[in-house]
Amino acid sequence: MAKLFTEIKLKDMVLKNRIVMPPMCMYTADTDGNASDWHHTHYSTRAVGGTGLIILEATAVERRGRISDWDLGIWKDEHVTGLKKIVDGCHENGAKVGVQLAHAGRKSQATADHPIAPSAIPYNETYRTPVEMSKEDIKKAVSAFKNGADRANAAGFDTIEIHGAHGYLINEFLSPLTNHRTDEYGGSEDNRMRFLFEVLQAITSVWPKEKPIILRISAEEYSEDGYHPADYARILNSLEGLGIDLVNVSTGAVLDLVPKVYPGYQVRSAELIKKETGLPVIAGGLIASPSMAEEILQNDRADLIFLGRELLRNPYWPLQAASELRAEIEWPEQYKRAKY
pLDDT in tens, 181-230: 999 999 999 999 999 999 999 999 999 999 999 999 999 999 999 999 99
Question: What is the reported pLDDT for 1?
Answer: 80
Question: What angle do the packed helices 79-92 and 135-155 form, to 10 degrees?
Answer: 40
Question: What is the reported pLDDT for 331?
Answer: 96
148 contacts: CB under 8 Å, gap ≥ 6: 59, 61, 74, 75, 101
Q: 3-338 — its CATH code?
A: 3.20.20.70
Would you call 181 exposed, middle or buried from its count of C-beta atoms within 10 A (0-12, 13-18, 19+)?
middle
Q: What pLDDT, in 10s, does the model give residues 238-277?
A: 999 999 999 999 999 999 999 999 999 999 999 999 999 9
Question: What is the reported pLDDT for 138?
Answer: 98
| Alpha helices (runs of H) in the chain, residue ranges in sequence order | 37-48, 79-92, 135-155, 169-174, 189-192, 194-204, 229-238, 267-277, 290-298, 309-313, 317-324
Compute mean pLDDT per 10 residues along the chain, 340 residues long, and list them. 96 98 98 97 98 98 98 98 98 98 98 96 97 98 98 98 98 98 98 98 98 98 96 97 97 95 98 98 98 98 98 98 96 95
Strand duo 304-306 + 281-284: pairing: parallel
CA-CA-CA-CA torsion sign (35, 37, 42, 43): positive
Question: What is the reported pLDDT for 112?
Answer: 87
SS3 state at 225: coil
Residue ranges of domains in the chain: 3-338
Question: What is the reported pLDDT for 233?
Answer: 98
Phi, psi angle pair for 171, to nearest 5°: -60, -35
pTM: 0.97
